[in-house]
Structure 1
């Protein structure tokens, strides 16, 4: 009597004959016609002909679906969405395209559409609908392309900064300060009340006993990066930040990722603007080199502009204007704006987008009023009512990055410090070997929303969090 072979035996022995590969490797020419290949992935379409069946397979490695040709006898009950393990030989179609002539097909997991699967073949769905199924939406081709672009974008940013001599740092997620001072921080405390009672300390409120004071999820790693820059010179972080906002805006999240950079001895807004412009252009050019197929797939859902037209800004210098010049441009065009212009409140999103449209380019707005900017920004040498701060505005999202030269005058910083107890250490940086530093924060989700022309940042992060929404 023949012994029944387990799937594990089947899989290991298949690898002795067939080379386990991925669709991306085939698409870039790593395999030639006649090679015996094993692929694993998900069925995206099925086309049944008289004698044969054609499946389009995707394994997540790239945007391309790969055609499988097989006899009807091999298909059995395999349907759209099923996961499969296939083995066969690479051949050419009549149109000179590669396909896999399947010798063996094993279904790994069924996908019963009738039991509640939310995505049907050859149907398009609105982002709001897809967002209801965060655990399944990576199976949507647009979302999977978006997430691959996100991966490559992070790599392109970090590669550029490494070439420029920056060190990547891990700033704390739990912190004792609210960097922006806007009161938008999440309070951190243990879930166990029993633990808090066990570590009780005289004169410390119960809610603050774990760290002997209030602690928060970070809203920015900037202050810690400044401390690191005082010893390492050029540093950056690329981590999650958190804001407790009751906001349904398409450009806001409660948890998002921010590229934050701090550079020692950087002394002017011109240098800082150049740093941001160089980073954005270099990273985007690299992104288009490695992920243009995914970028194009996502963009085609919302625009008819070609890649070349959409990224013409890569070859143009970005204008730099002062805050006062920006207000003058807005005042001269107020009939084209819906809202009122209130310089004492800054520049709102409608006005940001108008400035970008007016200059037909991403644009830097420099030298902002001190009263509407943060305590750590350096007072302008030529005008004490202004600070050396900038906002970098881009199409579609408005503010992409904000930065400044940091105040390194001990007395001036001390006068503006919002909390002397928790920020005493920050003031001491101006006491021991003080230097000028400058830096900025750039929102990854906003960057992706811009380059992919996606209208809501909730659709460029795998598991978005916002007020009343923390699924999974």
Structure 2
């Protein structure tokens, strides 16, 4: 807020001060009785013979502001969804549910809304499936604007957590020449047909003189940074070409990834992950409490959900090795039994967390074949120092490992997977001052789905992409 506005604020009544701090308004002169400007979109309009009531919202908060004005100032075409600027003054309201209202002396319409074509009709609650068909218009709805504000709050909390703990933010590349996870679920980048036609000697891959992909993870690049900067993190988009249309998968999503040098303990990684989740959860619940309450209500989430999440953050997360998780899963599951080397499926993960009192569970020390090539081999030569974090209702949220810093063992792994040429630079990191290190990745969209009780992950991101769908 500008300095002149702050000076004028001191002359306002306390109610006006509170309101102007949180709404998109501009003071034109001093005092409660003089003119102010109010901007936003019409959420509701009620026309009476001698007075018109207009509820306006600018998207920066959940609540609306009631404008009171004379009917002559409102064009007949003014409807819900229209964009307006009102000039007038704030005053105390006689209505029971609001302290402040805006007495408009002039209304300027920037854009009318054609309700005959507008997909979001007034006073109608539309389903998430319906709203998803109009991603470019969803920000105009109360529910989706709440979700975006919560996402913003959680994003800022992520950066604050890492910054306060001495981590350096790294912009890792979107274009990559490697498959970090080794799963082969890559989007290949090609130059357009028009470019290839204009130069027949060049093929699509020759733009970079090697194959290029949309990154599945920034981890390997973070490891390179961590070889000289001991504590680094990134918060970037990642891409998986999974032909999955489930409620928990996206083709483009955001990953929080961190890398920590000078550690040879999975416990250090687990403490970092646990601290991050508790910090952003508590901060977001506090800062966006009204928006979260509204989203929970619209998603028919239990009124006690916030208390349950708060209680979860007050407890120590559970740690158990894969072998124990396997034994418990077989004991409590009604499905087919798992054997050593089988991966836990989502149903097993959710059942395991529920069995543990809905406290997040770290499952550690997986069989080597279940984790990527960079996971550090344990002394038993059977397992690796890898972990997954399972949370209530979702299952896997985070995955992490200690990285294999021993040159000979990493060389052996890369050779067995025919990756020596592609990742020669990665192996080279072990030749010049290597140190024990590790890190993790966390799906940010999936975390928000957990926090908000959102049935579908596609409704916590602005423009979701999944198999068969890239509409804008």
TM (norm. structure 1) is 0.90
Asked if structure 2 preserves the Cα contact closer than 8 Å seen for 1:236 and 1:259, the reply is yes
Q: CA deviation at 1:314?
A: 1.6
Q: CA deviation at 1:165?
A: 0.6
Question: Relative to 1, partners in 2 of residues 1:35 and 1:326: Cα closer, same or farther, differing over 3 Å?
Answer: farther
Question: Relative to 1, partners in 2 of residues 1:194 and 1:83: Cα closer, same or farther, differing over 3 Å?
Answer: closer
Measure the CA separation in 1 of the matches of 2:258 and 2:274. Answer: 13
Q: CA deviation at 1:397?
A: 1.7
> What is the DSSP-based 3-state SS (H/G/I as helix, E as strand, rest coil) of the residue aligned with 2:81?
coil
Measure the CA separation in 2 of the matches of 1:27 and 1:35. Answer: 17
Corresponding residue for residue 439 of structure 1: 439
Asked if structure 2 preserves the Cα contact closer than 8 Å seen for 1:24 and 1:61, the reply is no
> What is the DSSP-based 3-state SS (H/G/I as helix, E as strand, rest coil) of the residue aligned with 1:344?
coil
Q: Are 1:421 and 2:417 matched, yes or no? A: no
Measure the CA separation in 2 of the matches of 1:119 and 1:311. Answer: 34
Measure the CA separation in 2 of the matches of 1:438 and 1:181. Answer: 18
Measure the CA separation in 2 of the matches of 1:22 and 1:460. Answer: 29
- Structure 1 residues 73-222: aligned runs within 5 Å: 73-77=72-76, 78-94=78-94, 95=96, 97-114=99-116, 116-192=117-193, 194-195=195-196, 198=199, 200=201, 206-222=203-219
> What is the DSSP-based 3-state SS (H/G/I as helix, E as strand, rest coil) of the residue aligned with 2:149?
helix
Q: Are 1:388 and 2:390 matched, yes or no? A: no
Q: Are 1:58 and 2:57 matched, yes or no? A: yes
Asked if structure 2 preserves the Cα contact closer than 8 Å seen for 1:200 and 1:209, the reply is no
Measure the CA separation in 1 of the matches of 2:467 and 2:60. Answer: 33
> What is the DSSP-based 3-state SS (H/G/I as helix, E as strand, rest coil) of the residue aligned with 2:144?
helix
> What is the DSSP-based 3-state SS (H/G/I as helix, E as strand, rest coil) of the residue aligned with 1:347?
coil
- Stretches of structure 2 that go unaligned for 5 or more consecutive residues are 1-16
Corresponding residue for residue 13 of structure 1: none
> What is the DSSP-based 3-state SS (H/G/I as helix, E as strand, rest coil) of the residue aligned with 1:231?
coil
Q: Are 1:276 and 2:276 matched, yes or no? A: no
Question: Relative to 1, partners in 2 of residues 1:151 and 1:35: Cα closer, same or farther, differing over 3 Å?
Answer: farther
Corresponding residue for residue 4 of structure 1: none
Q: Could you list the runs of 4 or more consecutive aligned residues of structure 1 that deviate by over 4 angstroms after TM superposition? A: 21-24, 26-33, 193-197
Measure the CA separation in 2 of the matches of 1:38 and 1:223. Answer: 51
Corresponding residue for residue 358 of structure 1: 355
Q: CA deviation at 1:147?
A: 0.9
Measure the CA separation in 2 of the matches of 1:428 and 1:293. Answer: 51
Asked if structure 2 preserves the Cα contact closer than 8 Å seen for 1:167 and 1:236, the reply is yes
Say which of 343, 348, 358 aligns to 1:346.
343
Measure the CA separation in 1 of the matches of 2:274 and 2:195. Answer: 52
Asked if structure 2 preserves the Cα contact closer than 8 Å seen for 1:365 and 1:392, the reply is yes
Corresponding residue for residue 310 of structure 2: 311
TM (norm. structure 2) is 0.90
Asked if structure 2 preserves the Cα contact closer than 8 Å seen for 1:22 and 1:61, the reply is no
Asked if structure 2 preserves the Cα contact closer than 8 Å seen for 1:196 and 1:210, the reply is no
Measure the CA separation in 2 of the matches of 1:75 and 1:322. Answer: 67
Q: Deviations along 1:24-62, whole A, 9 cap, x unmatched?
A: 724699998546321111111122345222111100111
Question: Relative to 1, partners in 2 of residues 1:319 and 1:247: Cα closer, same or farther, differing over 3 Å?
Answer: same
* Cα-Cα RMSD: 2.3
Question: Relative to 1, partners in 2 of residues 1:196 and 1:358: Cα closer, same or farther, differing over 3 Å?
Answer: farther
- Stretches of structure 1 that go unaligned for 5 or more consecutive residues are 1-20
Q: CA deviation at 1:317?
A: 1.1
Corresponding residue for residue 411 of structure 1: 408
